[in-house]
C-alpha cells in the first residue's frame, strides 16, 4: 500500500491511501495524476479530517469520469459517519440529475472518506482521456442560529459568538467584532445594529499553484489556474493586469494613457478578459465591461522618460464569479517583500522572440539590488527616472523575457508570513527586451491610494 500526503494532491500508484487535514481555507484534492488522464486499475482512499468541533465541506470543481451503466464502472464514493455512502460516476448512467461538479457535500461528523476507483480494462490502460476529478475541501462548523437558516463557521472563529455567512469557498468572513448572522448576506453588529461587510475575497491562494522549480529560468508556459489573477487587457494594444477583490483590475497607467501620444484617440474602449491562459479562450469567455478608470494623479503622460506613478485601477461594472481560474492577488504590507535576491514570478501575454504569443507565459526573476540597476542605467547613458516608487527585477547576465504586451501585469512573490502570493510590482518600463533589468511600479507605496479608490473614498 502506498501512503502519500502531498499538499492534498494525490500522485500515481496502483493503490493509494492518504490522510488530509482540513483547514480554514480551501485546499485541493484530485484523482491520481489529474489533470492528465487517469489509468485503469487504480484505486485511492483519501480520509479528510477536520479539527474537533468542525465538519468537512467538499465541493467538486471538475468531474470527468468514464461513463458507465448504473455506475458499475469508474466511480468516486463519498462516505461519512452515520449516513449512507454517495456514489458518483460519469454523467451517463449516474443517478444524479446533473454532473457532480460544483455540488457541495458536508460530512455529518468531523471526517469524510473519498474513494476513487478506476476499474481494470482488458484493452488500453488509458481511459479515453478522462482526467478524473478536482475537488476543494475545507473545515467548517455547521451551527443552527436563530431561525431556520444554516450557517457555517471556520476554524479560528468562536462558534457561539461568530457565525460565518460566507457560503462561497473563495470568500472568508471579516472577523472584526461580535456579530449575529442573518439568513442573507450581511452581518449585524449586536452592540449598535450597524451593518458591516460580511465577506472578503480569499487572495493569493491558487487552487492549482505553480510548481516551483529552482532550476527553471527564462519563459515557461503557464498552466490553467497557476496565475488566476492574470487579466488580459486591450486598450491601445495588448496589456496585462491583476484582479483585486472581485471587481477591480490593477494595471499600469501607461496602458491607458501611453507615452507616445501620436496614437491617442478619444473614447478609446477598455476591454478586460479573465479566466484562461489562451487568448482565443479568453475572447470566447467574453469582455468584462469597465465602469470607470482611475489613474494615479502622479502619472505624467507627456513626460516620456518619467514613469513615476505608473499605476491605475479599472473598476468592472459587475463582480466576477470567482473559481479556480479566476482569483484575486493580495497587496503587499511590508518592505521585506522587496529584499534584494528574493525570487518572484511575472506572467503575461507579451511579445516573445519577436512574436505575439497566444498563450500565457511566466518567468522567474529575482529582485535586483537598486545600486546595480542605477549603475546599469548610467552605463547605457539612460535618462529615465528611477524613483523611489519603482524597483528593478532581473539579472544583468540573464535574458529579460518581459516585453511589449506584458505592461500592467504584476510581479508576485510568496509571503512566508501570511502564506499567500503578493503583487509587489507592476510591469512598467525597460530598455529593450534583451539581457538586463526590468523596472516595476512599487505597489507597496500605493497601497493607501488603492484602498481609498476601492472603498470609494477618492
Neighbours of 174 (CB within 10 A): 15
> At which residue does the C-alpha cell 501575454 appear?
349
Say if CB 55 and CB 30 are below 8 A apart: no
User: Which residues, listed in sequence order, are joined to residue 2 by a DSSP beta bridge?
Assistant: 16
Active-site residue, from 407, 409, 415, 428: 407
- CA 344/CA 342 separation, integer angstroms: 7
Short-list 18, 218, 308, 42, CA closest to 137: 18
Positive or negative, the CA dihedral 324, 281, 421, 293 is negative
305: annotated active-site residue? no
310: annotated active-site residue? yes
User: For residue 353, what are the CA distances in angstroms to 202, 219, 279, 404?
Assistant: 36, 10, 18, 11
Residue-wise over 309-319: b if at least 16 C-beta within 10 A, else e? bbbbbbebeee
Short-list 413, 270, 262, 273, CA closest to 330: 413
Active-site residue, from 310, 363, 409, 415: 310
List all residues 6 or more positions away from 456 whose beta carbon is below 8 Å from its beta carbon: none
Active-site residue, from 254, 276, 288, 296: 254
Q: 51, exposed or middle or buried, with CB in 10 Å at 0-12, 13-18, 19+? A: middle
- CA 225/CA 414 separation, integer angstroms: 16
- CA 46/CA 151 separation, integer angstroms: 26
Cα 188 to its chain centre, rounded Å, is 30
149: annotated active-site residue? no
Enzyme catalytic residues: 254, 310, 407
Amino acid at each position: 500500500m502506498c501512503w502519500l500526503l502531498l499538499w492534498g494532491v494525490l500522485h500515481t500508484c496502483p493503490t493509494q491511501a492518504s490522510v488530509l487535514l482540513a483547514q480554514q481555507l480551501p485546499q485541493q484534492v484530485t484523482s491520481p495524476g489529474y489533470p492528465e488522464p487517469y489509468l485503469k486499475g487504480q484505486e485511492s482512499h483519501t480520509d479528510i479530517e477536520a479539527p474537533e468541533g468542525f465538519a468537512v465541506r467538499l465541493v467538486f470543481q471538475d468531474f470527468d469520469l468514464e461513463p458507465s451503466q448504473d455506475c458499475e464502472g469508474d466511480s468516486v464514493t463519498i462516505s461519512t459517519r452515520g449516513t449512507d455512502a454517495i456514489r458518483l460516476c460519469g454523467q451517463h448512467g449516474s443517478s444524479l440529475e446533473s454532473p457532480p461538479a460544483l455540488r457541495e457535500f458536508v460530512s455529518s461528523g468531523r471526517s469524510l472518506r473519498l474513494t476513487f476507483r478506476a476499474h481494470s480494462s482488458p484493452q488500453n490502460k488509458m481511459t479515453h482521456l478522462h482526467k478524473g476529478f478536482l475537488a476543494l475541501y475545507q473545515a467548517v462548523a455547521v451551527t443552527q442560529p436563530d431561525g431556520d437558516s444554516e450557517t457555517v463557521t471556520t476554524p479560528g472563529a468562536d462558534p457561539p459568538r461568530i457565525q460565518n455567512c460566507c457560503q462561497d469557498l473563495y470568500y472568508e468572513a471579516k472577523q472584526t467584532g461580535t456579530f449575529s448572522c442573518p439568513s442573507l448576506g450581511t452581518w449585524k453588529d449586536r452592540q449598535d445594529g450597524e451593518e458591516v461587510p460580511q465577506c472578503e475575497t480569499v487572495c493569493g491562494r491558487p487552487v492549482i499553484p505553480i510548481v516551483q522549480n529552482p532550476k527553471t529560468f527564462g519563459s515557461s508556459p503557464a498552466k490553467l489556474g497557476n496565475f488566476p489573477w492574470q487579466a488580459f487587457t486591450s486598450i491601445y494594444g495588448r496589456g496585462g493586469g491583476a484582479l483585486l477583490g472581485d471587481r477591480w483590475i490593477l494595471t499600469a497607467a501607461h496602458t491607458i494613457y501611453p507615452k507616445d501620444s501620436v496614437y491617442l484617440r478619444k473614447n478609446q474602449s477598455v476591454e478586460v478578459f479573465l479566466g484562461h491562459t489562451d487568448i482565443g479562450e479568453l475572447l470566447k469567455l467574453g469582455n468584462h465591461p469597465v465602469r470607470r478608470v482611475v489613474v494615479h494623479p502622479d502619472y505624467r503622460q507627456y513626460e516620456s522618460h518619467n514613469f513615476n506613478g505608473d499605476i491605475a485601477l479599472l473598476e468592472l461594472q459587475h463582480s466576477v464569479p470567482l473559481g479556480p481560474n479566476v482569483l484575486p492577488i493580495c497587496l503587499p504590507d511590508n518592505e521585506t517583500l522587496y529584499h534584494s535576491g528574493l525570487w518572484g514570478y511575472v506572467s503575461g501575454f507579451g511579445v516573445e522572440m519577436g512574436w505575439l504569443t497566444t498563450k500565457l507565459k511566466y518567468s522567474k526573476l529575482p529582485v535586483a539590488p537598486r545600486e546595480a540597476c542605477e549603475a546599469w542605467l548610467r552605463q547605457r547613458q539612460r535618462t529615465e527616472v528611477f524613483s523611489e516608487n519603482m524597483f528593478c527585477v532581473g539579472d544583468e547576465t540573464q535574458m529579460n523575457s518581459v516585453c511589449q504586451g506584458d505592461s500592467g501585469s504584476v510581479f508576485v512573490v510568496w509571503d512566508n508570513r501570511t502564506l499567500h502570493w503578493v503583487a509587489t510590482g507592476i510591469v512598467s518600463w525597460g530598455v529593450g527586451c534583451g539581457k538586463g533589468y526590468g523596472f516595476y511600479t512599487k505597489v507597496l507605496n500605493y497601497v493607501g491610494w488603492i484602498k481609498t479608490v476601492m472603498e470609494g473614498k477618492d
